[in-house]
Amino acid sequence: MAKKYVYFYGGGKKMTDGDRTMREILGGKGANLAEMCNADVPVPPGFTVSTEACAVYEDKGSYPKEMMQQVKVELAKLEKLEGKKLGDAKNPLLLSVRSGAAQSMPGMMDTVLNLGMTDKSVKGFAEATGNPRAAYDCYRRFIDMFGDVVMGPYSTLNHHHFEEALTKIKKKYKAKQDTDLTAEQLAELVDDYKAIYKKHVGKPFPQDPMKQLELSINAVFDSWQTERAVKYRILNKITGLIGTAVNVQTMVFGNMGDDCATGVAFTRDGSTGEAKPMGEYLVNAQGEDVVAGIRTPINLDEIVNEEDQGLVKAGKQLLKIMAKLEKHYKYPQDVEFTIQQGKLYMLQTRNAKRVGLAGVRWAVEMATGVDQMTGEKLPKLLNAKEALMTVQGSDLEQLLFPIFDAKAEAKQTPICSGLPAGPGAAVGAIVLNSDKAEQMKKKNPNQKLILVRHETSPEDVGGMGAAEGILTSTGGMTSHAAVVARGWGKCCICGAGDLKINEKKGTISVGGKTYKEGETISLNGSTGKVYVGEIPSESSPIVAALVEGNKAAKKHWIYKMYEVVSEWSDKFRKINVRTNADSPADSKNARAFGAEGIGLCRTEHMFFEGDRITDVRRFILADTDKERNAAIKKLLPHQRKDFVGIFKAMDGLPVTVRLLDPPLHEFLPHTEADMKKMAKELSVPLSKVQERVAELHEFNPMLGHRGCRLSITYPVLCEMQTRAIIEAAVKVQEKGTKVLPEIMIPLIGTKAELDYLEKIVRRVADEIIKTKKSKVKYMVGTMIEIPRAALTADQVAETAEFFSFGTNDLTQMTFGYSRDDIGSFLPDYLEEKILETDPFQQIDESGVGQLVEMAVQKGRSTRPKLKCGICGEHGGEPNSVKFCVRTGLDYVSCSPYRVPIARLAAAQAALEG
Amino acid sequence: MAKKYVYFYGGGKKMTDGDRTMREILGGKGANLAEMCNADVPVPPGFTVSTEACAVYEDKGSYPKEMMQQVKVELAKLEKLEGKKLGDAKNPLLLSVRSGAAQSMPGMMDTVLNLGMTDKSVKGFAEATGNPRAAYDCYRRFIDMFGDVVMGPYSTLNHHHFEEALTKIKKKYKAKQDTDLTAEQLAELVDDYKAIYKKHVGKPFPQDPMKQLELSINAVFDSWQTERAVKYRILNKITGLIGTAVNVQTMVFGNMGDDCATGVAFTRDGSTGEAKPMGEYLVNAQGEDVVAGIRTPINLDEIVNEEDQGLVKAGKQLLKIMAKLEKHYKYPQDVEFTIQQGKLYMLQTRNAKRVGLAGVRWAVEMATGVDQMTGEKLPKLLNAKEALMTVQGSDLEQLLFPIFDAKAEAKQTPICSGLPAGPGAAVGAIVLNSDKAEQMKKKNPNQKLILVRHETSPEDVGGMGAAEGILTSTGGMTSHAAVVARGWGKCCICGAGDLKINEKKGTISVGGKTYKEGETISLNGSTGKVYVGEIPSESSPIVAALVEGNKAAKKHWIYKMYEVVSEWSDKFRKINVRTNADSPADSKNARAFGAEGIGLCRTEHMFFEGDRITDVRRFILADTDKERNAAIKKLLPHQRKDFVGIFKAMDGLPVTVRLLDPPLHEFLPHTEADMKKMAKELSVPLSKVQERVAELHEFNPMLGHRGCRLSITYPVLCEMQTRAIIEAAVKVQEKGTKVLPEIMIPLIGTKAELDYLEKIVRRVADEIIKTKKSKVKYMVGTMIEIPRAALTADQVAETAEFFSFGTNDLTQMTFGYSRDDIGSFLPDYLEEKILETDPFQQIDESGVGQLVEMAVQKGRSTRPKLKCGICGEHGGEPNSVKFCVRTGLDYVSCSPYRVPIARLAAAQAALEG
């Protein structure tokens, strides 16, 4: 039997082939259309060409043989169900052709509407609907879309050419709006359009609807690999998809008169999280008009106040269906609908996108059944476990974002305002062009930018990614800019209609005043207000409560919600979460965020502070052991003091301290001027400084004289650091604090390295403990960050009491990628799908992960209770945390602000598996 | 039962505890002393304190408890056997105390002689021997040695202080030689020595012989870790030893009169390999005098002509025992002997050290029973397999060393001559100080040096290592300089007595002429002749025969011997040996040395030659694909031509070609001047060159944009190189040459990288083959040099048809060591035994080797017939080759001149296992 590539939907459960579980092959849209049909929701019937067909097309460059045959069969079924025929001279069927991958990529791929319009069927349509104006309007729209989308890539044709002809004919007949054109005038326009088509494409506009359909399916498949689609997938870390499905669907018309409308709606507010339907619609319009943000749409609340009672009735039905869908999917939905002459059609439903706040709020409210702001009762849709699984790490992350200082903001007058499309606060320099924004960010990653555009399109995603916030002058809450920004948790204000943008001059003007590119503006994405200059921002209530000790903030509903999620996380997770912290302040903050100890305290940071660098440099320049020892001695009290503070902050919790790691040249100046300064400060000749700098130069510092290699050359370093740690521990413990120091030797590749330094550490530590008659207990362990250490972990564990995976270096060496140089080829690798993700962001499970698993297994074969953790950047990345849980690590360690995210991910991993 | 730490030998087989198999715990010397006792060879009896005791001492800083008790027991046994008592007032026993590790380290550790001499026993000794002069001479020598060796490290005392007293007393009594001093004068000297001892040590000279013994054992143990001993082990790659044994032995005296002698001898000539005993002795002397090279000794041949008939008889017995020992050990022996009043004592036997030529000759002659130079018959001691196992890779390597051009040398008059202690030819600049030689070599590794010294001592080993050749003015064929140089296969001339060295002035003078440090001299280590200036050197007969096409050389006995060894090697080995060659010439040479194909052809070398670099730079500077393609196109004919030559040279054998590997910045100039030149040549602004250089700069180029990463960014590179390879193959095959190209993609870390490039390679290659209707077959494979590739080898092998292990990079990444920067810590690592060997020289089996094993196993699990080879530097290192054989690789690949060594090692590995 031939493989099935085409799936019918419509006509109720009986006729529908698919369901919601089939999103991998039907795409999200196709699977949900089928699901809605199964649930008797009114959906225009149609069929879905599967993603598997797209995969064949991608791979072989042509359709699978059976596909078009199957399309014909399903089309015949559709024609029968609808009682219309494609291209018919009397009652023609019109179709839409839309992309739909397994994961949503809004606006990234192509769509063709009104397919089936020909010189013959346009008349049939006019006749059947009694609306010749609508017929010719559809036809001319179809020629435009087909010409631009389907033939554009193969010719010089594009939308712009049709726009010109439209403007010309409007001028000719003195029509202000498109809607002022009559049927005859539109018929004339159709002739103009066909002529334009022929001129650019070299062939007449195709009058065979099957040809139209085949070419359109083709175009949707092609759009899978356009630059903007590929870029979107990279930016959104969408991987593992085989292609897009194509949804062919009976056209319904929101533009057939004032009893028609089209719109999009959410069952809950994706911005505030409020459990109340929100949406927008346009009367007498096609769906794309809403998404494109060309006309400013009407709030969904208004639909019950419409004059046309058909619209009112359909609107009420919509609200009921939305509630049903939310309950059915157990998650807030994002729907598209069209009302054609008072009849409601649902065109799409999907799990709604939302900002972090809404994501958390939805989860908490769906599980508790209580509105978190008002205390009102809501339907319970999920239990706590299910609810926790819907929260993403990035949701929590967004809750920690700063917001404007309310008082400072109150003193300012906004220069304009728009729709609060993406909450949070953003401050940055105005930039009017996306490419420019990308380039500026590349040159100076610290530069904060606000991208200001009329409206955004998929071509702008790069620039949007580079900006702190986005401001548009047109478009609504569901415009491209709004949807993309919310998906990223980025601050965004849309439809600030007063704003005039002059890209050529590089200025924006509003209220008679003009501002240049580069001037600073501030956006409040939660209110939609735009200010000139920088408004000081304010911490999130969570940060205020936990870090800043603001007691009032603890009563804030957002903070309380955070507490619910934290409680759930801690209840379900099975591993510990520690933090990477180098100072008493960081340690305290991390503890407030739930850290259960320090997994990585980098001592080198302590070497740079204040005067210490001078002694470090004295040490580096020393010619004799005596000089070296003298310099080191001066560092001891400073280091000890740091540890005292950290141990106090971590009372009762373990603290892993890593001995000095970076190569010595990092502590020396590199410019002539700085070297002169250093020579003067240290009273040595400049030549001596220069010589030492030259001597310490390395070709590949990442693979050079650093980590444990330093302490082996200069054991005094290891001695001093051990002394500082243990003396601090003894001192603090005497005063009643419980200390659990874990001394960590970095960059071990062989057991012998560890043995050599472990002996020194124990000699120094035991002597202090004995002399002071202290009861401090300490552990000695190592980082596993060199592949060889992982490979020989059974030997290393003979000495090491714990392993901490330094997955940054381990990734560098396992791949042979320098983190500092990867920029030259990583973009190519992601684009060509050679890498699915940046392995420095998300742990590479099959390579680096294999080494981690091997090391844990081998290490525990020698020392069954070996404590294992991770302290690389991956320790705060949700997918990597899940990997760590599966691998049996005892803890993950990450930066303080990522601790809540790691706790969540750890819980999710436990629930998953 | 207490552990046994002390082993008796002497008194025949019945009383002897050990045998030759116990060298790990008795050391080489101790095991062989026991073995000789078992074989009834006359040996002064004694006992050996085991290396295990040394290990405890090293580890804990003190003897194992039982040890001194056991020493007392064995000492009592010895006293009984000899009928003498230690410290006795009438017939005292005197002892020697010598080190002896499991591997020979000549002169590196401490020795104490005449132990047991006290104020009391000196009188007993005088009485018992009737020789008071000898008694006081022994006593003063003992005080000197004990003071210097045993107490020196803990006081200001050293040999120099005693020398001064000796000179003083000789002056006082107008004695020319030490031997001119009378018993009374020596007794006075003993008093002086004791005073000196007390002054520097702070205590009187110990009169308790047991105390003397304990302190001396202590000193030998301590000498295991002296800087020079550690350095020697590093230089000689001696690893895995736990410590030294201590041999306590009854003293015998070669200095009791003219019927006494002491000497060293070899059963065969260690320099020419001739099967004839050779040796040297001194009449009326102690053994250390021979080794130290202070007096020039007599050739062993002369012993039968001695006046003293006791000496003659003992000499004849010696020759018989030497023949017996050679037969017993099945290998030429190096013996030490002493004749005391006509009675022969063997003090040591061990497998003799020899230069490479002798090593090969011994092996061939022991197995064939034919003298290779003369055709005379010799005893057959070994079969071919056994004989092959005695040849070392370095022996063969030495046979390939150059010798002086005979005609050019004949025209020169030598300025002086000495003993031909280490054969071969050496040319270099005079340097008179070992430290200086080491420093000069470090600064400029290309500088050729000749170290010129009065005599060398263990302190000179560093300088000797740095020099091309060694020239001494005193000392014989068995002096320190000679033994060490021969062990290394280094050119050495000893005892050039006419030479006067003035280290202060930095000059040497001979025959009234003076030469300064830095002037060039030439040494013929095979004849002992020294020349001023550079004499052109000549290839070895093997190189002449194989590389230079010298037909006469094929009849040379050395070449014939090489053929025997090669034949044996090829008969026993089971894996192939290929070569790393980048040019037709190298390919031809390698094939002559037995290479069975090319395992690594590095194409980047072809990018530098002649004008090509200009096109490469044009490619790098190109702004557009068009420019890039144009530049690449120009390189194509050059590359193709190279491959044509290589394929022809390798007719019928496989050739693995690696695609471009180094980062692009390696092809750009780095100085301002060179950049200007390049800008001019390419007619581009200097700023453009500078910008590109800056752009391509990398922090860690080893982990940067190189290898397959380049071809993924610029697929045109891969296309051009594939085209050149396949077009060359097609062309050459058309003319009847059989080509087997294997295209190798470097630096693969993921299967996706390989897939991406494999597709390009196959597309280009198949198109050419199809167009040309050729039958060329090619393979596509990859280097395994990134840890991740080894870890995921099962996936990589889905695409790769072969693996070639690039163990240089694999070692870098597995250890996290930059080969270019390792110098800053490797010496410390070797000294502290953190690494046993440099992992870039000998493969690290437990880490890097583990990855190789894993990759072979995983790769073959996917593709059972996967061809696996190695092409890193390790491919020519004998131990690494053996590892490759054990791991099941199909071939090793190494530089042309190392091919014979790899063949030998492969055969040895097969025989071993």
Cross-chain Cβ contact B788/A704 below 8 Å: no
**Choice between B145 and A229, residue whose per-residue pLDDT is larger:** B145
Chain B residues with CB-CB distance to A812 below 8 A = 703
Beta strands in B788-846, from DSSP E residues, in sequence order: 802-805
Question: Average pLDDT, stretch B661-670?
Answer: 90
* pLDDT band, residue A293 (cuts 50/70/90): low
Residue B487 has pLDDT above 70, yes or no: no
pLDDT of residue A292: 64
Q: Give helix B686-696 / helix B672-682 axis angle, nearest 10°.
A: 120
The pLDDT tens digits for B236-285 are 778 888 899 999 999 999 988 899 999 999 999 988 899 999 999 999 88
**CA–CA gap between residue A347 and residue B719 (Å, rounded):** 48
Helices (H) and strands (E) in chain A, counts: 37, 33
Cross-chain Cβ contact A813/B816 below 8 Å: yes
Contact assessment for residue A681 and residue A721, using Cβ atoms and an 8 Å cutoff: no
Cross-chain Cβ contact B698/A787 below 8 Å: no
pLDDT of residue B2: 79
* pLDDT band, residue B1 (cuts 50/70/90): low
- The CATH code of domain A403-543 reads 3.50.30.10
Buried b (16+ CB within 10 A) or exposed e, A549-584: eeeebeebebbebbebbbebbeebbebbbbbbbbbb
Superfamily of domain B253-359: ATP-grasp fold, B domain (3.30.470.20)
- Per-residue tokens: B376: 């005379």
CB neighbours (10 Å) of residue A328? 17
**CA–CA gap between residue A84 and residue A78 (Å, rounded):** 8
Q: How many residues in chain B?
A: 913
The pLDDT tens digits for A476-515 are 776 778 877 765 667 899 888 888 898 889 999 998 899 9
- Per-residue tokens: A157: 């044709």
**Choice between B625 and B824, residue whose per-residue pLDDT is larger:** B625
Contact assessment for residue B45 and residue B82, using Cβ atoms and an 8 Å cutoff: yes
What is chain A's mean pLDDT, rounded? 92
The pLDDT tens digits for B544-601 are 999 889 999 999 999 999 999 999 999 999 999 999 998 898 899 999 999 999 999 9
Beta strands in B576-631, from DSSP E residues, in sequence order: 576-580, 598-602
pLDDT of residue A503: 86
- What lies within 8 Å, CB to CB, of B595 at 6+ separation is B577, B578, B579, B581, B587, B653, B896, B899
**CA–CA gap between residue A829 and residue A820 (Å, rounded):** 16
Give the residue on A whose Cα is nearest the Cα of B696: A824
Say whether residue A442 is in contact with chain B using an 8 A CB cutoff: no
What is chain B's mean pLDDT, rounded? 92
- Minimal Cβ distance to A703: which of B818, B828, B832: B818
* pLDDT band, residue A107 (cuts 50/70/90): low
Contact assessment for residue B835 and residue B768, using Cβ atoms and an 8 Å cutoff: no
Residue A167 has pLDDT above 60, yes or no: yes
Residue B328 has pLDDT above 90, yes or no: yes
Least confident of A288-302, A768-782, B451-465: A288-302
Question: Average pLDDT, stretch B528-549?
Answer: 90
Question: Of all helices (H) and strands (E), which one includes residue A242?
Answer: none
Cross-chain Cβ contact A752/B834 below 8 Å: yes
Question: Average pLDDT, stretch B327-346?
Answer: 95
Within 830-889 of B, beta carbons closer than 8 Å to A belong to 832-835, 844, 846-848, 850-851
Long-range contacts formed by A831-839: CB under 8 A, 24+ apart: A831/A230, A831/A234, A832/B712, A832/B752, A832/B756, A833/B752, A834/B712, A834/B750, A834/B752, A834/B753, A834/B756, A835/B750, A835/B752, A836/A239, A836/A240, A837/A237, A837/A239, A839/A811, A839/A815
The pLDDT tens digits for A877-886 are 999 999 999 9
Phi/psi at B657 (nearest 5 deg)? -110, 125
pLDDT of residue A904: 97
First to last CA, chain B: 38
Chain B residues with CB-CB distance to A831 below 8 A = none
Give the gap in angstroms from C-alpha A569 to the nearest C-alpha of chain B: 34
**CA–CA gap between residue B250 and residue B116 (Å, rounded):** 10
Say whether residue A713 is in contact with chain B using an 8 A CB cutoff: yes
The pLDDT tens digits for A113-141 are 999 999 999 999 999 988 899 899 999 99
Q: Work out whether the CA dihedral B686, B689, B694, B700 comes out positive or negative.
A: negative
* pLDDT band, residue B449 (cuts 50/70/90): very high
Burial of B737 per CB tally in 10 Å (0-12, 13-18, 19+) = middle
Give the residue on B whose Cα is nearest the Cα of A698: B821
**CA–CA gap between residue B10 and residue B346 (Å, rounded):** 12
Say whether residue A786 is in contact with chain B using an 8 A CB cutoff: yes
Question: Average pLDDT, stretch A650-677?
Answer: 92
Cross-chain Cβ contact A712/B850 below 8 Å: no
Residue from B138, B161, B480, B494 carrying the catalytic annotation: B480
**CA–CA gap between residue A330 and residue A383 (Å, rounded):** 11
CB neighbours (10 Å) of residue B836? 18
Question: Of all helices (H) and strands (E), which one includes residue A431?
Answer: strand A425-431
Q: Known catalytic residues of A?
A: 480, 871
Residue A881 identity (one-letter amino acid): V
- The CATH code of domain B577-598+636-660+715-912 reads 3.20.20.60
Residue B910 has pLDDT above 90, yes or no: yes
Within 789-808 of A, beta carbons closer than 8 Å to B belong to 791-792, 795
ipTM score above 0.95: no
Domain-by-domain residue ranges, chain A? 253-359, 403-543, 577-598+636-660+715-912
pLDDT of residue A864: 97
pLDDT of residue B538: 78
pLDDT of residue A359: 94
Question: Average pLDDT, stretch B373-383?
Answer: 94
Say whether residue A700 is in contact with chain B using an 8 A CB cutoff: yes
Give SS3 for A69. Answer: helix
Question: Average pLDDT, stretch A798-809?
Answer: 97
The pLDDT tens digits for B609-626 are 777 889 999 999 998 989
- Per-residue tokens: A1: 């039997």
pLDDT of residue B367: 97
Give the gap in angstroms from C-alpha A907 to the nearest C-alpha of chain B: 30
Nearest residue to A250 (alpha-carbon basis) of A144, A97, A133: A97
| Cα of A366 vs its chain's centroid, Å | 23
